[in-house]
Amino acid sequence: ERGIIVTPTIGTNYGLNEERRPGFVEHQTRVLRWQEESGIRIMSGTDAGVSSFELYAEHRYVKAYELAGFSNPRIVDLLTCHTAAGLGLGDKIGTLGHGYSADLLVLDGNPLEDLNALRRPLLVMARGRYQPPPSPERPVQSGAGGQP
Cα separation of 127 and 123, whole Å?
13
Cα separation of 122 and 129, whole Å?
14
Q: Tell me the pLDDT tens digit for each residue of 31-78.
A: 989 999 998 999 887 666 555 445 445 566 788 888 889 999 999 999
Given pLDDT bands bounded at 50, 70 and 90, which one contains residue 19? confident
The set of residues, in sequence order, having a beta carbon less than 8 Å from that of 48 and lying 6+ positions away, is none
| Comparison of pLDDT for 56 and 102, the residue scoring more | 102
- Give the pLDDT mean for 115-139: 80
Instruction: Say if residues 16 and 52 touch (Cβ distance below 8 Å).
Output: no
**Has residue 148 got a pLDDT over 60?**
no
Q: Give how far Cα 66 sits from Cα of 29, 41, 45, 135, Å.
A: 9, 17, 16, 23
Residue 45 CA to chain centroid, in angstroms?
A: 6
